[in-house]
Amino acid sequence: MPAFPLPIPRLAIVVPCYNEEDVFSYCLRELLSLLDSMAQEQMIRADSFLLFVDDGSRDTTWEQISAACSEHACVQGLKLSRNEGHQSALLAGLAAADGQADAIVSIDADLQDDTTAIRRMVEAYRAGYDVVYGVRECRQTDTWFKRTSAEGFYSLMACMGVRQVINHADFRLLSRRALAALLTYTERNAYIRGLVPLVGFPSTEVRYARGVRMAGESKYPLRKMLALAMEGITSMTITPLRLIAALGLCICGLSLAATVYVLVMTFTGNTVEGWSSIILSIFFMGGVQMLSLGIIGEYIGKIYLESKKRPRFHVESFLRHNAPSTFQTQDTISSRPHLS
């Protein structure tokens, strides 16, 4: 940790957006106000900026981002060529901010995460922390099902040995060197919440109460939550494969015991003809085999996708104040090895 506070940083706030036309104006206004007040208080440099990433939105989100870039010098816009998903959009924004800022904060456009916590994140950064996690200490605005399922997921990941900060999503601050380290992870199926703890460097937490969504609908319905959970498990741990092996060993042991029992009953003449036990055993073993094949197939699918080395995303436009699509900058972003 440094003996003295670090210099005032240039801050970048990266905001992934997908069909956020209803909430974008509120998000822009809140974050611009935050940047202005923090710059006036000399917490951040005056040339700090916002970077909005349009993840292939089908509404007017990109038009609003483009207008904001024209109107405000501190706003940048990155448009992906198609919808790639939240994690890829976030990585695209982080990659675009790499080298432009000393500290990079990521936050969702719905602003359910408390923007005032960014002040404490910057203070922690200046105190010497490279990674500052935003941790939800109060989730009363979430439904009972969402709170319960989230707690169950964190517990499951912990049991499988995955290092993950409980009640932390993608609201965090990364220093320049922490971001550079994160971008060296090149897997196509990235689970950022699990990758950031692997980066190391000094880290701390900032706790806050989660608010309500100001407008629009959540972009994480149950289907996407389950997909993210599966992505996290299969990307960060091979424990499910080991559980399959353990289950197979247990079934072999039970089968051996059942074989001994059947032989004893046969020799003593106490066997009773019937089909119930046979049918139940067939269904049981069939279910176990299908489940095992499904889990193994998920991992094989990951290997298949990673072996192709396809890029995570393609950038269609990169806008800054009073500048149209900057194709030179776009090509620079697209060609960086750690973005492939």
Q: Which residues, in sequence order, are CB contacts of 115 under 8 Å at separation 6+?
A: 30, 31, 34, 107
pLDDT at 213: 59
Question: 84-127 pLDDT, tens per residue?
Answer: 888 888 888 998 888 888 999 999 888 888 888 899 999 999 98
Residue 73: pLDDT above 60?
A: yes
Residue 214: pLDDT above 70?
A: no
The Cα–Cα gap between 288 and 277 comes to 16
Instruction: Looking at mean pLDDT, say which of 4-13, 72-81, 274-283 comes out highest.
Output: 72-81
Strand partners, 50: 13, 75
Mean pLDDT of 12-30: 90
Q: How confident is the model at residue 274 (pLDDT cuts 50, 70, 90)?
A: low
The DSSP line for 278-312 is HHHHHHHHHHHHHHHHHHHHHHHHHHHHHHHT--S
Regarding predicted confidence, which is higher, 37 or 266? 37
Residue 168: pLDDT above 50?
A: yes
Q: How confident is the model at residue 304 (pLDDT cuts 50, 70, 90)?
A: low
Residue 75: pLDDT above 60?
A: yes
pLDDT at 50: 93
**Domain boundaries in the chain?**
11-237+311-339, 239-308
Kindly state the helix (H) or strand (E) to which residue 122 belongs, with its residue range: helix 117-126
Average pLDDT of the chain to the nearest whole number: 76
Q: What percent of the chain has pLDDT over 70?
A: 63
Mean pLDDT of 40-66: 90
Q: Which architecture, in CATH terms, is 11-237+311-339?
A: Alpha-Beta Complex (3.90)
What's the predicted TM-score (pTM) here? Answer: 0.70
- Judge residue 216's burial from the number of C-beta atoms within 10 Å of its C-beta, 0-12 exposed, 13-18 middle, 19 or more buried: middle
- List the single range of 15-24, 44-53, 156-165, 258-267 with lowest mean pLDDT: 258-267
**Identity of the residue numbered 217:** E
Residue 198: pLDDT above 90?
A: no
- List the single range of 21-35, 82-96, 180-194, 235-249 with lowest mean pLDDT: 235-249
